[in-house]
Amino acid sequence: MTDELRKGLEGVLVAESDLSEIDGDEGRLIYRGYAIEDLARHASYEEVIYLLWHGDLPDADELDSFTDSMVAERAVDEDVLDTVGQLAAADENPMAALRTAVSMLSAYDPDADAPATDETATLRKGRRIVAKIPTILAAFTRMRDGEDPVEPREDLGHAANFLYMLNGEAPDDVLAETFDMALVLHADHGLNASTFSAITTASTLSDLHSSVTSAIGTLKGPLHGGANQDVMQMLKEVDESDRDPIGWVEKALDEGRRISGFGHRVYNVKDPRAKILGERSQELGEAAGTPKWYEYSTKVEEYMAEEKGLAPNVDFYSASTYYQMGIPVDIYTPIFAMSRSAGWIAHAVEYVEDNRLIRPRARYTGPHDLEFVDIDER
Ligand SMILES: CC(=O)SCCNC(=O)CCNC(=O)[C@H](O)C(C)(C)COP(=O)(O)OP(=O)(O)OC[C@H]1O[C@@H](n2cnc3c(N)ncnc32)[C@H](O)[C@@H]1OP(=O)(O)O
Ligand SMILES: O=C([O-])CC(=O)C(=O)O
């Protein structure tokens, strides 16, 4: 037992994992040995889920049967859709709505009562959760706009089908491929806060829906996944006011605020995912004749590097990428959850294979030996 206090658990090793490795000094990320750049360029999100859950990239037959099994799980029970509709009518925060809906899915999961140690059943639950999140999120987004949900299409991949269910029309190849790549980039990232939350829940031998629900709640915060929405808010404020990104950032820093999309607990250099998304944001802007979002972003990036020595994280360029794809700003973080659910599930399963209850300590700094005072005398 050590009494050294490591606030925020910085640098503390709590588990071993075969899933992903981050080199924070070199700006490298791998999933099970494969460079993120290669996976982003060549692999579909479905292949990456398979890689994370089963240890290897699938061959063509394995991918077909895995994809079919995911497609078969896309539909969501009517009761869950009704609840999603009520949350949309109440104008619930989209991450909170997703958290509630994913929790509710367990009531309709045929493996709900399987023990946490039954890995096959847990992965079946995982497949259902990952397959259904896009259906839930697209339905929520449409219903709050007074539109009917669009049923999933079996002939579209995970990414394209989500955009289809969101917009009511199939995306073109560029949009489908960009979204698929974004899902690949967000699928896993070591023991980030939400994944730690997922394994903490799993370590009590609770169920997978509880792990994913815990993780969604953790991802929601602005220091983690919630930052992507705040980045777009900043870029929009810049655009709607003086179009001076540096002035905006200077003022925010003077007020003691943090600039969303910058800084990272593990990376000391630019996040490799931000590099890939930055290129995509630039391409989308040039193709649409609206390079301003990328231009504002690069100005902020240069200023933050010079003034604060801070580099962009994944949330910085995902914001302008999604914006230029026409995706509503307040579902950027649920989209992150849509992708990261694969990583949460992989880590929960892996952790339980060699389980030990996660239970750190806090140093007590309160008083001792107080005399109890009766309520009438306080
Ligand atoms: C998917 C993801 O979760 S990626 C991260 C998404 N979150 C964000 O983008 C929010 C903005 N970033 C931050 O708040 C932080 O960089 C975090 C939370 C990501 C990492 O935090 P930590 O590892 O705890 O770093 P810490 O908070 O100790 O910051 C170190 C120093 O850099 C400064 N700093 C870090 N990030 C920022 C930022 N975005 N803007 C301004 N200053 C910053 C801090 O003020 C601190 O300075 P100080 O030592 O003078 O007080
Ligand atoms: O690793 C982290 O702390 C945050 C992050 O970039 C992610 O979860 O993708």
pLDDT digits 0-9 by tens, 34-73: 999 999 999 999 999 999 999 999 999 999 999 999 999 9
Torsional sign, CA 258, 233, 88, 108: negative
Q: What's this model's pTM, rounded to 2 decimal places?
A: 0.98
Distant-in-sequence, close-in-space partners of 176: CB < 8 Å, separation ≥ 6: 156, 157, 159, 160, 163, 170
Tokens 């023990």 -> residue: 115
CATH number, domain 227-324, options 2.40.50.100, 3.40.50.720, 1.10.230.10, 1.10.3720.10 = 1.10.230.10
Residue nearest to atom 4 of ligand 2 (CA): 192
Task: Please give the distance, rounded to the nearest whole angstrom, from the Cα atom of residue 243 to the centre of ligand 1.
Answer: 25
Asked if 141 and 84 count as a contact pair (C-beta separation under 8 A), the reply is no
pLDDT bin (cut points 50, 70, 90) of residue 1 is confident
ipTM above 0.85, yes or no: yes
Say which CATH class 28-223+331-353 falls into: mainly alpha
Instruction: Classify residue 232 by burial, with Cβ atoms within 10 Å: 0-12, 13-18, 19+.
Output: buried
> Chain centroid to CA 261: how far?
14
CATH 1.10.580.10 in the chain: give the residue spans. Answer: 28-223+331-353
Task: Please give the distance, rounded to the nearest whole angstrom, from the Cα atom of residue 6 to the centre of ligand 1.
Answer: 16
pLDDT digits 0-9 by tens, 202-246: 999 999 999 999 999 999 999 999 999 999 999 999 999 988 999
For range 307-333, the mean pLDDT: 98
To test ligand 2's pocket by mutation, which of 36, 264, 310, 336 has the most ligand atoms within 8 angstroms of CB?
264
CATH 1.10.230.10 in the chain: give the residue spans. Answer: 227-324
Catalytic residue among 264, 330, 369, 374: 264
Proximal ligand: closest to the CA of 254: 1
pLDDT digits 0-9 by tens, 104-130: 999 999 999 999 999 999 999 999 999
Q: Which pLDDT belongs to residue 208?
A: 98
With a 6 Å cutoff on the Cβ, whether 238 touches ligand 1 is no
With a 6 Å cutoff on the Cβ, whether 261 touches ligand 1 is yes
pLDDT digits 0-9 by tens, 133-158: 999 999 999 999 999 999 999 999 99
Q: Is 42 a catalytic residue?
A: no
Phi–psi pair at 110, nearest 5 degrees: -65, -20
The 8-class DSSP code of residue 371 comes to P
Asked if 103 and 209 count as a contact pair (C-beta separation under 8 A), the reply is yes
Q: Which residues is 189 bridged to in the sheet? A: 191
